[in-house]
Structure 1
Amino acid sequence: MGRRRLLPLFFFLLIATSSAVPLLYNSLDVRPLSRPSTLDSALPWSETLEATESTTDSAASSSPSLVFRLEHRDSLALNSSAAELFSLRLDRDSARVYSIDSRLAQQTHGRPISHGPSGAVPRPRRNVTRHLPSRRPRSFSSSIVSGLSQGSGEYFTRVGVGTPSHSMYMVVDTGSDVMWIQCSPCLRCYTQSDPLFNPRASSSFVNLPCSSPICRQLDTSGCSRRRSCLYQVSYGDGSSTVGDFSTETLTFGRTSIGRVALGCGHDNEGLFVGAAGLLGLGHGDLSFPSQVGRIFGRRFSYCLSDRQAGSTPSSTLIFGDAALPAPGRGAVFAPMVANPKLGTFYYVQLVGISVGGARVNVAASEFQISANGNGGVIVDSGTSVTRLVQPAYIAMRDAFRAGTTQLNRTTAGFSLFDTCYDLSGKDVVKVPTVVFHFGRGSDLSLPASNYLIPVNTAGLFCFAFAGTSSGLTIIGNIQQQGIRVVFDPVASRVGFVPHACG
């Protein structure tokens, strides 16, 4: 009788084993960490083009489009090794994520979060306008915390400011709305590559009055004694910019756009990049895409090339209908989700993740925005490493580890990475596939180089994800590289187009 009872169990195990679905794998070319290409100043920074039906999926489009060249901040670092640059990048990344989490916590709970190595919250400097007695705002009651912390905007472009136009480096950042530049006279300014902008030398510079509707859109605003609008933006590490909120003409190649609202900062502190200011690409009304929406339709896209692969193709940022992919390019569109508590970030509907072709056991609710505005999933240009809510990260990491038993996993991690492999001496390895599943049945398969990355010159590679306890999932730029990311608020969607940097 005992043997008869064992037979059904034996056959069940045999059938289950034989019907197991084999894992799906990608090939990874093993290239140790190397320095990114240095800045090529001979290339044009921007150009204007006309969108046509052959370049976009919008019908009979004839609106103009702007194309920007983007460079990573590491291209300006001439005397640092690849390892030093990567270490600094991870430090900036942690500060960036902390700032985003702090801003979200302040908006949803009215207070900053408390986490980090020491458990203490960096306190913004008080009285940032103490050197501006005649400009002291009447309504600066609290600082806001934005995505730019320790200069963590990773990409920059060159923009003409004023009339006559003066070209300046500006950080581009999807996690910020308010645009600003450093201006003279400057009471406190950090070092920048270009001369300070002098608003008195520009015929198109106009101070906005306190009564203007656009002044009231600022999160933190005030009034000077002359009743002109003042702005203040404070960042998570205590960095800040304070000055006049104004309108000015911006020039891109042959295209000039007048009456763009931006801050003219006379008191600027902190560890910014060395750029003259910030070009905000956020979802809010004061961002550059929103302000020029009447011209370019609020649509834009960028493609961040793999810096390990050299400078070709270059990273680009496109505004207008040409930002949309042409038919047949294999675009994957994720539904855009609104967070009523925080309008700056671009939220998308992520419903699941697969590793090696098998769905990771994580509930879709882990990626949803809660009633108080916490949680959700954002796509961010300034965050490097994708952060996943802790249950999703652990499940995904464990699935990846289970599919890489043939590789030499190290006992220790590296910085914020806890899953690393010694691939020295290898040319090509097989790693499980990683797929993001978005709403409406859209699936984005990541290239292997976007999730197993080199972290030193000795052949150490790490799984480029990290967990977070904040509740917010952030899709970072390492996972975006080589993929054109399309922001289309008009159709309420964010698109991903593989192999579209050229």
Structure 2
Amino acid sequence: MPDLSWSESETLNLPETDSKTAVTVRLEHRDALAFNATPEALFNLRLERDVVRVKTLTAMAASAHVRRNSTPAHGKDFSSSIISGLSQGSGEYFTRIGVGTPPKYAYMVLDTGSDIVWIQCSPCRKCYTQTDPIFDPKKSESYASVSCGTPLCRRLDTSGCNKRKSCIYQVSYGDGSFTVGEFSTETLTFRGTKIGNVALGCGHDNEGLFIGAAGLLGLGRGKLSFPSQSGRRFGGKFSYCLVDRSSKTSKPSSVMFGESAVSRLAVFTPMLTNPKLDTFYYLQLTGISVGGTRVPGITPSMFQIDAQGNGGVIIDSGTSVTRLTRSAYLPFRDAFRAGTTDLKRAPDFALFDTCYDLSGQTVIKVPTVVLHFGSGTDMNLPPENYLISIDSKASFCFAFAGTMSGLSIIGNIQQQGFRIVFDSAGSRIGIAPHGCA
């Protein structure tokens, strides 16, 4: 690969230090659990998963008002035809968490786009392949099933009962996969810190795109997400920083809970609320600059949430490529193309319509890209966050895509290297450059 040198890009050498304590756990990209796969194959699979996730998040937002007004299903029977409203696509980052007492450590998908915490449990009617042994609730001293009709069971969008009068949960996903099992409470351990009585789905029948991981840690805004359940202990605050997977750095990606999760370098934008959907983290995108100039025609009105809960902009850990509503994406893309006329174009690739052949070049100049959010918060993207390698032949693509949906999504490629702070207590989202230090 060429040694890329970029013009007009800022460098901030401000180490992030914090004397406060916090619960911090390491994150791994799901590709770390893949074996005997080429980088090209892994990248293609990542894009395929991304398409599934975006379709599901979009459908979830579009039908939010229907689910909001629906009545949960209760009764003795619980069939696979009952669909949870908390459907989403595949997660991209894993963290290792201890489940039960004594704790059994397992990889869990980190997901800000869903709420329910769940893990595969024995006995399995059907379980997919995971790296760690299947969790056995009978061997945990802290496991407790949730009874039917209790307030905790009623918090589920859909719930059912088994013969033992235990609460049954189900979560369905956009690709047709799902998890079904017994709703319970359990103790989770994060690097020695124990959090008791966490509502958790103990899945006995599971299919999905989570191969490798044992389950999912839901970090959404809903009432059953882990941040909501542990809000009193951690002050409703958590943050993560995702390291560029293609870099040679030894710094790990991480997620942090508590007051120290709020970086002193962060600048904040208001966390918006969708009255029809409480899972996603919405923020206000006001404009985009390319090469130091605001792109004409991109206005805040393009990213507003309407009365039906449609539209808006969310920031998501499990979506890779940022999607922008097409009316904003097209002028943005055209402005970037206008600043790269001296680069050799390459054929389109998958969802990318602006690609370049950079073979044989050692110094490449591209215009800067800045995302502008509410309250004057700017996200100055480093070039590797918007021009990414797609193969081993020096082909690079502009890492954004348009969508016909009104919902825009800030993906994890654009978030790499930033500490993203979720402060639900303060109704704000923070962005800190060089946040993985």
TM-score under structure 1 length normalisation: 0.80
Conserved 8 A contact 2:125-2:204: yes
Q: Does 1:66 align with 2:6?
A: no
Q: Does 1:55 align with 2:1?
A: no
- Any runs of at least 4 consecutive aligned residues in structure 1 with deviations exceeding 4 A, and if so which? none
**In the TM superposition, what is the alpha-carbon distance from 1:106 to its structure 2 partner?**
2.2
What corresponds to 2:226 in structure 1? 288
| Partner of residue 292, structure 2 | 357
What is the Cα deviation at residue 211 of structure 1? 2.3
The answer to whether structure 1 residue 80 and structure 2 residue 21 are counterparts is no
Indicate the residue corresponding to 1:395 in structure 2: 331
Looking at structure 1, the residues matched to 87 and 432 of structure 2 have their Cα atoms a distance apart, in angstroms, of 25
**Retained in 2: the 8 A contact 1:355–1:434?**
yes
Amino acid at match of 2:361: K
Tell me the amino acid that sits aligned with residue 143 of structure 1: I
Q: Where do 1:272-351 residues align within 5 Å?
A: 272-326=210-264, 329=265, 331-351=266-286
Q: Please tell me whether the aligned partners of residues 107 and 131 of structure 2 are also in contact (alpha carbons under 8 angstroms).
A: yes
Q: 1:224-263, CA deviations, whole angstroms, 9 ceiling, x for partnerless residues? A: 2332211011111111111110001111222111111000
Alignment correspondent of 2:201: 263
Seen in structure 2, the aligned counterparts of structure 1 residues 244 and 153 have a Cα distance that, compared at 3 Å, is: same
1:103 aligned counterpart, secondary structure:
helix
Task: Give the aligned partner of residue 302 of structure 2.
Answer: 366
In the aligned structure 2, how far is the partner of 1:228 from the partner of 1:75? 37
Q: Among 84, 87, 97, which residue is 1:144 paired with? A: 84
**Residues 1:165 and 2:103 are matched in the alignment:** yes
Letter in 2 for 1:394: L
Q: Which residue of 1 aligns with 2:140?
A: 202
What is aligned with 1:463?
398
Q: Which has the larger radius of gyration?
A: 1
* Residue in 2 that maps onto 1:155: 93
Q: Distance in 2 between matches of 1:300 and 1:95?
A: 27
User: In structure 1, which of residues 107, 115, 121 is the aligned counterpart of residue 64 of structure 2?
Assistant: 107
Please state whether the residue corresponding to 1:246 is helix, strand or coil.
strand
Counterpart residue type for residue 286 of structure 2: V
CA contact (8 A) 1:183 1:198 kept: yes
Would you say the 8 A contact 1:170–1:277 is kept in 2?
A: yes
Following the alignment from structure 1 to structure 2, what is the Cα–Cα distance between the partners of residues 244 and 237? 22
1:394 partner SS: helix
Secondary structure of the corresponding residue to residue 102 of structure 2? coil
What TM-score does the superposition give when structure 2 sets the normalisation length?
A: 0.92
Is the 1:103–1:144 Cα contact (8 Å) retained in structure 2?
no
Shift of 1:390: 0.3
TM superposition shift of 1:376: 0.2
1:477 equivalenced with 2:432 (yes/no):
no
Query: 2 CA distance for matches of 1:356 and 1:215?
Result: 52
Question: 1:25 and 1:374, CA in 2 relative to 1: closer, same or farther beyond 3 A?
Answer: farther
Q: Which residue does the alignment assign to 1:190?
A: 128
- Contact 2:67/2:85 (8 A) holds in 1: no
SS of residue paired to 2:37:
coil
1:495 aligned residue (419, 430, 433): 430
**Equivalent position amino acid for 2:256 in 1:** I
* Cα pair 2:86 2:116 within 8 Å, conserved: no
Describe the SS at the equivalent of 1:399.
Answer: helix
State which of 49, 74, 78 in structure 2 corresponds to 1:92: 49
Is contact 1:99–1:146 with CA below 8 Å preserved after alignment? Answer: no
Q: Give 3-state SS (helix, strand or coil) of 1:307's partner.
A: coil
Secondary structure of the residue aligned to 1:456 is coil
Counterpart AA for 2:179: T
Residue among 320, 323, 339 paired with 1:384:
320
Which letter does structure 1 place at the counterpart of 2:431? F
Shift of 1:145: 5.3
1:483 maps to a residue whose letter is F
* Structure 2 letter corresponding to 1:137: F
Equivalent positions of 1:4-83 (< 5 A) are: 26=8, 55=18, 65-83=22-40
* Amino acid in the other structure paired with 1:378: I
Instruction: Write out per-residue CA displacement over residues 349-401 of structure 1, whole angstroms, 9 at most, x where no aligned residue.
Output: 11111111111121211101011000000000000000000010001000000
Instruction: Name the aligned partner's letter for residue 73 of structure 1.
Output: R
Distance 2:86 2:397 in 1: 29
Alpha carbons 1:96, 1:147 under 8 Å: kept: no
> Retained in 1: the 8 A contact 2:115–2:224?
yes
* 1:180 paired to 2:115: no
